[in-house]
Structure 1
Amino acid sequence: MNGSKQVIVGICAMEKKSLSKPMKEILTRLEEFEYIKTLTFSEDVILNGSVEEWPLVDCLIAFHSKGFPLEKAIEYAKLRKPYIINNLEMQYDIQDRRSVYKTMEKEGIEIPRHAILNRDSDDPAQNTIVEYDDHVEVNGVTFNKPFVEKPVSAEDHNIFMYYPTSAGGGSQRLFRKIGSRSSVYSSESGVRKTGSYIYEDFMATDGTDVKVYTVGPDYAHAEARKSPALDGKVERDCEGKEVRYPVILSNKEKLIARKVCLAFKQTVCGFDLLRANGRSIVCDVNGFSFVKNSFKYYDDCAKILGNMILRELAPTLHIPWNIPFQLDDPPIVPTTVGKMMELRCVVGVIRHGDRTPKQKMKLEVRHPK
C-alpha cells in the first residue's frame, strides 16, 4: 500500500452480534479491500468505558440489540463524527412498533389495517377497547377474529393471534424460537388486559413469511420461512438449521425495500413482508439484520458496503481509489475440498405429455420416374 492511509471501520455492537458467523464472514470480505481495516469494539469498552475512551474510527457500524447502550453510541458519533452506516437516532423508532407504522404510513408503504391501544395514555380516544366473542372494538375500530395483537415494544416478541368461535376459539401465541417451537396454541380467547398493543387484521398467506434484507436502497435479498402461526413447529434441515427458501421479489416489492431502507435510514436493514390477496404488506421492521448461511449474500454485502465506504471517505482521506468496473463474478464458493461453482438458478421449461392425437396420417410418396 506504500504507506497509504487506511479507512478504519468500527463495529460497535454486543458480542453476540459482532462475533456472529455472518458478521465474521462479511468483515473477512471487507478486509479484502486494500484500503479498509476493520476494528471491533469490545463489549467491556462499550458498556463500561466512556465514549472518549472508545477507539477512533473513520466509519461506524453500530446497531442496537438487547443491552446495547444506544445513547452512548449517539454521543460517540456526535463527538468523533465518523461516517455512519445505519442512522443511530432512527434506531429508537425501530424499537417502537407505533413509530414504525407511523413512519411507513408517512412514506406510503402499505401496512395492515390497524389500531393502537395506548393504555399509558390519559386520552380515552387512545385507550378504549370493547371485547365481544368474535370481535373487538379498539378506539371505535372493529377487528373481527382472526386478528393479531402485537406489543408496541419491538423487543417484545409475544404476539397473539385470536381465532373465531367457528374455528374453535382460543389463540396462537407466538414467541422467539425456543428449540423447535416458535408458537403454542392456548384455549384462552380473551385479549390481554395490561400493556399497550397494536391490533391489526390477520393476513392470510400461503403459510410462509417473507424476510427481506437490504444492503443500501438498491439491493434486497429475500427468503421465505414457514410461518410460526401455522403450528408453531420450526422446520429444520438435517444440520438443525431453520429451513429457508429463496424468494424472487417483484418490482413492486423491490421498491418497497428501497422505501424501507431510506425511510428508516438503515443501510443494512431487515423487514417482514406478507404476501396476501395479491398485495405485499410490511408488518415489521427489524433494523440491522444479516442473512445466515448465504455466501452469495456475504459477497454482495461486503462489496456494496466496501464501495459505499470508500466512495464516501476516499476523497477526504486522500486515498487513491476509484470504483472498480467489474463484470459479474463467477459464482465460486469455498468448500472443504477446494472451490467449486455454485448453482444459483435452474430454469425449466416443461410441457405436459398428455396430448390429444391430431388424427394425422403420414404418407411416403415416390414418383415412378
Structure 2
Amino acid sequence: MSAAAFAKGLLDLEGELTPILVSLVSKDSSMLDGLQDGTIDINEAKAQLHDIITSSEVAHYNEPMEFPWMVDGARVPKNAAQLLTDLAELTKEITAQVKMLSDDEDEKAAIGSDSPNPPYDIAKALGKAEIDTDRLLAGLPCGSESFLLMFARWKKLERDLYNERKKRFDTTQIPDIYDSCKYDLLHNSHLNLTGLSDLFEVSQLLADSVIPNEYGINPKQKLKIGSKIARRLLGKILIDLHNTRREVAAAAAESDIYNDIMTVSSAKRKERSYYEEVKHECVERSISNKKGIDLDDSHEETKYCLDPKYANVVEPERRVRTRLYFTSESHIHSLMNVLRYCNLDESLNGEESLVCRSSLDLLFKTRELDYMSYIVLRMFENTEVPLEDPKRFRIEMTFSRGADISSLEGGGKESLLPDDHTMPIMEPERLQEVGSYITLDKFDKMARPFAMPAEDFPPAAPQPLPVRFCKDIELRGKLQHKSDMMSGVLKRKTKRLQE
C-alpha cells in the first residue's frame, strides 16, 4: 500500500488510491533474501572494521592518493578510537536527561490521575499526517512516543554500545545512535537536550565511515557482498530492460508489416474500396492492441498502455515504461557497489567502470545514502540507427543520496530546522560524464556476472484480465472469438491483396 501511495504522489493523482493503482504494485519479498546470502561476508567486514576503528590502524598517507576509495577502511577518521569513547560518554548524558524527563512525566501522571483529560490516543497519532503541535507546546516528545519509550530507546543504545563487563565497544551500534540522534534533532529539538548537537556531530563522523564499510572494507569485498545481496534485484532489472527492448522490436516488426501493406502496387489492387477496408481494419486492430487488452492466457504480465484519445502528448505512439523498485538501504548500497566496482571482477579485466572517474570521487565523498535515496536507470532509444545496432539503446544512470540534512548540521539550531519536521530531497547526480552514455549491451555485459539468471526466477503469477470489470462474464469468450475472426479475415484479405 505504501508503494501505491508513493506512485500516486509521483503521478500527482488526487483522491483515494484506486484499485488499478494498487494493482500496479507487485510485492515480492524474496527480493530481500540476498541479505541472508551475504551474512557471513558482512559479519567478517564488520569484524575487520571494528578492529580498524578501535585500534585506529587506518592507512593514511601524507600525499593525496589517486584512488582514495581503494584503501581498507576508507573514510575512517584517524582519531576514531577517541571519537568512540566520546560517543559513549555523550550517549550517557543524553540518556540521563531523558530519564529525568521520564521521571517527571510519571510524577505528573500520578498527581493528575483524576484529571478529566483523556489519555493520548497512540493509534490516532500514528494516523495523523500533520505534527501534533499541542504536544510540542506541552513539552512532550513528537508523535506517539512518551518519555518512557524515549528513555528505553536511549538506554538500549547506551547499553549495547559499550559492554561494561567485557569492556568492549560494539561499533555496529554507531548507525543506530546516529539515526536516533538525527530523529531527536529533527522532531524533538524543543526538548532542548544538552549535548545532543555534539552527539550528532561525533556520531556522524563515525557513521559516515562505518555505514559504507559494513558492506565491505575495500572495493573487492564490496563487490563480493553487493553481488550476493543485489543479485536478484539486478537480475530483475536486466529482465525488465530486455523485455522493453523486445517490445520495441516487436512493435517495429508490426510497423514494417503495416507499411508493406500500405505500399502494395496499385496495379495489384482489384478494388480501391477493398484496400481502404483492409487499411481501416489494420488501423482498428492496431489501436485495439495498444489499449492493453491482452486476451491470451499465456501472457506473463498485465500491461497498461496509453490511450491516444485521452493523451495530451505530442507522440501518443511513444512507449514509456516505468519501473519503481522499493527496497532496503542494504540493497541501495549493494547495487551501487556493483555498478561502480563491477570492472574489478576477473572476468571483466580491462573493462572500464560503469561509473566515470568524477562520479567515483563524488560517491566516495558522499557521506551517506539517507532516507529516500534512489538510483535511476533510464534507457533511451535512438530510432535513427537500425535495431541491430548496439547504439540503438543507451543507458543513463543517476543517483540521489536522499534527504538533505544540512539543516541539522548547523548545530540543530531552531532557526535552521524546518517547521514541518521534514527534510528536502537532494537533486539527482549523474554517474556518467555529460554527453556520454552506456549502451544496453555494455551494461548487460558488465552487470550479467552479478545478476540472477532469468531461468532461476520463479514463473510469474497469473494476472487477472482487465475484463474482470465487465458485467457479462461470457464477454471474454465473445471478444476472443471476434478477435480470431478479425485475424482470419485480415489474413485472407491480405493474401488476396498481394495476389
Fold similarity call, TM over 0.5: no
* Greater RCO, CA 8 A, separation 6+: 2
* TM-score, scaled to structure 1: 0.28
* TM-score, scaled to structure 2: 0.22
| Structure with more of its chain in strand, by fraction | 1
| Structure with more of its chain in helix, by fraction | 2
